Structure 1
Amino acid sequence: MNELTTVERKTLEMIVLRFGEEPFGAEALERAFPGRVSGFEAELGLERLRARGIVETRRKAWGETIHALAPGLFADWQGYYLPAVGEPCQLDDAAVEPNYEPKAGFAKLLLFFLADVANVGIGLTQKGTFAKKDAMRLASRIDVAEEALAGLDIAYLHQDKLGKPLAVLYDAALRLGLVRNGASALELDRERVDAWLAKPLPDIEGELRALWWDVYTPTDVWLQHGGAALRRMTPGRWYAVDRVADGLLAAGVPTGGRTEDEAREALSRYWLRPLAAFGFAELGSTSEGLAARMTAPLDVDEEETGWYAQPDFELIVPPTAPFRARWELEACAEYAGGDAVDRYRITKASWERALGSGRDAEALLEVVRSGARYGVPEPVEAALRQWSAAYGALTLEDVTLLRCRNAEDAAYLKSEPSLSECFVAHIGELDFIVRRSMTKTLADALKRQGFSLRAGGPAAEAASSAEDAGEAPARGRAAAPAASAGGIVHSRRNAALFPLDPAPSGTKPLRERLSAAPQAWLRSMRKYHASTVRDLMETAIDARTSVRLVMDGREVELVPKRVTPVGADWIVQGYIDGEEATVASSACGEAQLLVPEQA
């Protein structure tokens, strides 16, 4: 920070306080702080900050230039310019009465969502939203109150069909690439899910926190500042929320038209209550009002990550259990409830469901056994082995059947060597079970040999197989529409969509205007004729710079905005020390045109 010049520090402070992460034009910066910064100063500050990588300049398709803080810097610069919303807002633990409402946490809720996709399935309607029964089941499992997210003002696809808690999780799964919309159901990206499950829990939580701030930071500068203050809080330390709000108000952060009380409440409704609902924050009460602290990442001890297997087939799972192990429990056990600590119960139906999905019985038993800190009770293990051995003794299968109308055709098919590999078995006199992988091969061979296949036979089965594999939309169902870029929550921050300006003009046009002026005006304070002072003022207005002026015996810096004739004389209107001022020509003494090169 010490390397920044005065004009750079001044410009950066104005950007941070007034615009936050929002894009702006140089003229807007000048208008936001009338008299505190000239247009030339604003352009010069932006030019230098851009060279340092602190500010980015982009150009819209129609030529308009916009500026904004480079991504990822806002919270740090807020901490520099607004230290009052940091450490001074901390509270002693003894002064806070926590609201003990244990939450499952965003990471665990996302795991529940993904496990439901894998083990139960989430169907999609013709319009691409969740089937009603699936949405209701998921909402019950997620158990995040809609009221807690009432202040989170967001817009998203299928807003009339999906509750906000479910939409938030669905959006995260899409943005992380863990799921995709299939033709008739939501599909997992198995490779990405496996990689996600293998990450350490603190890494998963850190990624989700970063995603939250990226997706839900709005264009509202007041809420941007509130969010930045929360991000900078030391995890595990309590902070007085009203002190944070008062610090922002005292610094002059725009409230977006809210009263002071409304601004304080907005921080709670938009940020704190939703963050607490998803386990990112905890709330409490003090004599000063609301207190909040950001939750610290779990300190995972590898020796303390196992679960406790009970004789009644229940598994008690601590919060530190690895997600990979939880994933297997989601497949073979029923979730029985919990918050910080979860309970699962293995039933015969849940065990057979896992075996039916293709899991190996011995590998599944090893997951349960290796994760149990004190082993699996013998009767439980014996029952699991018995269920595994009995499973599949009888099998119901869907098969493709080739049916002949007469015995002559059936006899030919049975005796034809080129077709034998296409059949699994010959049933009775007229029917054959077709090997599923050979359906199309058989259909083509029969057509070449002169047989006419009726619709609904092998060709239709091949088409049906394509539908089952998700290669085509099911008959009567339109393909589900793709989600918006990345997810379903609409972002209102779109400055990054415009390309970086490779050669912004900066101060060049203003310097060219000044170069045409008499250089004596720039070198030193001098006494000029009133008409010359008027020309000097008009040049300053044209170059958007300021004038050093002796007025009534004192030296001031005037940012002129307009020169107006008054009879044979004139007046100049502008700003002195940030206040509106009108100066008569007769009051002007020595003058100098200022260029803040060395500021």
Structure 2
Amino acid sequence: MNVEQSVARLPDAMKRLIASDPAVQALLERGKDLAEALSDPEWATAWLDGCLDVAPLSVLRSVLYKYGANPFEIERIAADAEEEFGLTGAEARVAVAKLRRSGVVFAVRKSWGDRLFYIPVDAVALWQPLLLPANNRALTSEEAWEVAQNGGGYRPPLSLALLSAWHRVAKQPVLRTAKGAPQQAATARVAAALQLEQAAMEQLLAAYPHVAQLPSQAAFAFDVGLVCGVLTETNGAIRICEEGLDEWLLLPLCEAERRLQTLVMTRYCASRPALHLTFSATLALEAGGWSTVDRVGEGQGEAEERLALLEALGCIERGTWRGQTAIRRRAEPGSLPGAAEGYFILQPDGEVLVPPDVGMRARWKLSDIAELEKADELYVYRLTQRSCEDACRLGYSLDKALLALEEGSGAPVPQPVRDALRDWFASLGRTELVEALVLRADSKAVADAIAADEGLAGLIVERIGERHFLVDAGEGKQIRAKLRAAGYPAVDVVRTERGAPGEARHGGEQAAGGNKGWLSVGTALSAFEADKGLPGADELFPGLADIPAAWITRPRKYHPSTSKELIRRAIDWQTTVRLERDGGARIFAPRTMRESGALWVAEGRWRPADGSVPSGGRTEPAAVRAEEIAELMIVLPDLEELETD
């Protein structure tokens, strides 16, 4: 789930608690709502600057690195925090509670009571540059000349690649077969139009419906189109949603590209923290400049494979500089500051040159009436008789085609082109194929009776033989009723590949825009109830109210049996104890106890005398015998920040 969805599910009391933080309050007073405030880099920076407790920072960094936006359990993160940073389990539990108190981490509760914690999927990119910055160095302009750029040819930006694939769906909606799979010929055309490498798509996508019949490129195009609202699935066919398409085509190319890159990062990369962090770190780079890459996302392995995927998606370019990997983030198409959308160039011979700054609406209309000859930095189309036939099928007349060309080119249509279009359109629209139902009687006598029936006569388009009639396919239900009333109930023998009307789409967790896609992705956190509030002290430390207050307030000398109970309690709570030994006070984190009759030995690790987290992580193992302890008390992490009253 993203920040907006997570905040919406919070109880009002938790919202008020998070909103009371000064860093959040400052943004709320400027008109932002709570979700917007918790998505703002200004808030994240202010929170980090004001966080003086090393435990929440250490836990957040560990969660980000190991889990990304995937859910985690408190026991697992407590074990990780001890191993990596020398934190106790108590410090890790309290740290997670403090992160929830600040709106950094959220929690859901399973039906059996256990909690799952998570960082919202779109917040990973908020925290990554602050806590796990990429270790790269920008090359100077002189050094950049030495970069040997990888080959592989032109890779279209996601916005243009998907526009081509979706236009293929506009020309021919993709029907389902009787078994529910999309028709292979149609999906193959969509996959080819996408122009993205199959290997990259297979690396990006997890399992999806009908994987044996459906190319990964087509699955990607369908899923993104459904999530963005450009495509819809009705009556067993994937087709264009006209309203959604109109909204999408209004976006500037650079905005569409940014939205798609963010969608890919949060929808397809979130289940793999290393890929998610790499994507986030790469998108944070300034476009256009080369930089070396030693590690992205805190030095995680297999970085080259992840960078190759981003290159295949058109997000970056790769090369080599003095033996090191170099990358350059590609600028979003049409992203020159303040620049208006450009025009395509219509040549007198019918060739159309499309510079990078031409907007999506003009490109879409041009694809309606012209054939794509070359996709490169400069797209090349050509007007042909065949392309005019396709345009006619899409509802274009000669006048409508001329208007689209004039609007897209910003100039009158050259006379040779106008003459050619007039000739080509002159023969179009004279014939048409229409869908109809055939009503067949088993004898001429029955057919004559049907023809004479007043109720059926108005529904028959044409009698085409002794026993056959063409009837309006849209009136099938009424025709069946009339035939039944006439004493000749119809038996359907029509075979259809359209699937059942209203057939449900495949999909996983609902995307941020409210639309389900083709793929089942996400962790289904929304299936669980949002946790109602922060844990209290007695939940963090079960039985706290049952022990003497002195055990946690001041060091005292106890009988060995009582000291043993204190140590056992500290072990159960995974916290530290303060003890006096050899004339000095020490902080000890007990983990286990060995007993031999009345004697016992606690095993664990020493902590710095001030109780702080060890700067180098875990300290060496240690053991303390009962007879060595002079005074003793249990030390709990500071809970003041969690107070809600």
> Given the two structures, how large is their TM-score scaled by the length of structure 1?
0.82
Separation in structure 2 between the aligned mates of residue 541 and residue 411 of structure 1, nearest angstrom:
92
Counterparts in 2 of 1:286 and 1:496: CA distance versus 1, 3 Å:
farther
CA contact (8 A) 2:188 2:218 kept: no
In 2, Cα distance between equivalents of 1:112 and 1:214 = 23
TM-superposed CA distance for 1:413, in Å, is 6.8
Q: Which residue of 2 aligns with 1:505?
A: 535
Say whether the 8 Å CA contact 1:105–1:280 is kept in structure 2. yes
Contact 1:18–1:32 (8 Å) recurs in 2? no
Q: Aligned partner of 2:296: which letter?
A: V
Match of 2:248 in 1: 196
Distance (whole Å) between structure 1 residues aligned to residue 596 and residue 217 of structure 2: 65
Aligned-partner Cα distance in 1 for 2:289–2:121: 27
Preserved contact between residue 513 and residue 542 of structure 1 (Cα < 8 Å): no
Q: For residues 401 and 168 of structure 1, do their structure 2 counterparts lie closer, same or farther at Cα, with a shift above 3 Å needed?
A: closer
* 1:78 maps onto 2:124 in alignment: no
How many aligned positions are there?
565
Q: Which stretch of structure 1 is more off in the superposition, 339-348 or 383-392?
A: 383-392
Give distance in 1, aligned partners of 2:117 and 2:303. Answer: 26
1:519 paired residue number: 549
Identity across the alignment (%): 28
After superposition, where does 1:120-199 map in structure 2 within 5 Å?
A: 120-149=172-201, 151-152=203-204, 154-183=206-235, 185-199=237-251
* 1:464-479 equivalence runs, <5 A: 472=500
Contact 2:353 2:378 in 1 (8 A): yes
The corresponding residue for 1:483 is 506
1:163 CA displacement: 2.9
Within the alignment, does 1:331 sit opposite 2:368 as a pair? yes
Residue 3 in structure 1 maps to residue 50 in structure 2: yes
Deviation (angstroms), 1:381:
0.8
Corresponding residue for residue 290 of structure 1 = 325
Deviation at 1:445, TM superposition (A): 6.5
Which structure's relative contact order is higher, taking Cα pairs within 8 Å and 6+ residues apart? 1
Match of 1:342 among 373, 379, 383: 379
Amino acid at match of 1:267: A
Verify: 1:46 aligned to 2:96, yes or no: yes
Q: How does 1:56-67 map to 2 (within 5 A)?
A: 56-67=106-117
Within the alignment, does 1:550 sit opposite 2:580 as a pair? yes
User: Would you say the 8 A contact 1:517–1:539 is kept in 2?
Assistant: no
- In structure 2, how many angstroms separate the alpha carbons of the residues matched to 1:219 and 1:401? 51
Name the structure 2 match of 1:582: 623
1:416-427 maps to which residues of 2 (within 5 A)? Answer: none
CA distance in 1, matches of 2:482, 2:569: 89
Q: 1:288 to 1:571 in 2, by over 3 A?
A: farther
Q: Higher Cα Rg: structure 1 or 2? A: 1
Q: Which residue matches 1:384?
A: 421
Deviation at 1:386, TM superposition (A): 2.8
Does structure 1 residue 595 correspond to structure 2 residue 632?
no
What is the match of residue 315 of structure 2? 280
Aligned equivalent of 1:258: none
Distance 2:238 2:450 in 1: 45
CA distance in 1, matches of 2:404, 2:100: 55
Distance in 1 (CA, whole Å) between partners of 2:285 and 2:65 is 19
Cα 1:535–1:480 change in 2 (3 A) is closer
- For structure 2, the residue ranges without an aligned partner over 5 or more in a row are 1-47, 509-515, 608-617
Q: Write out per-residue CA displacement over residues 132-187 of structure 1, whole angstroms, 9 at most, x where no aligned residue.
A: 33333333333323344564462222222233333222221222233244555432
CA RMSD in angstroms comes to 3.8
Distance 1:558 1:370, change over 3 A: same
2:161–2:196 contact (8 Å) kept in structure 1:
no
For residues 429-481 of structure 1, the C-alpha deviation after alignment (integer angstroms, 9 at most, x for no partner) is 99987677677767866876x6x66969xx98xx79xx69x6857xxxxx977
Instruction: Name the structure 2 match of 1:92.
Output: 140
**Conserved? CA contact 1:123–1:186, under 8 Å:** yes
3-state SS in 2 of match to 1:560: strand
TM value normalised by structure 2: 0.76
1:69 matched residue in structure 2:
119
Aligned counterparts of 2:232 and 2:562: Cα–Cα separation in 1:
71
Mapped contact 1:514–1:539 kept (Cα < 8 A): no
3-state DSSP class of the match of 2:348?
coil
Measure the CA separation in 2 of the matches of 1:274 and 1:14. 25
* Structure 1 residue 384, shift from structure 2 partner: 1.0
Gaps of 5+ in 1: 250-254, 256-262, 474-478
Partner of 1:476: none
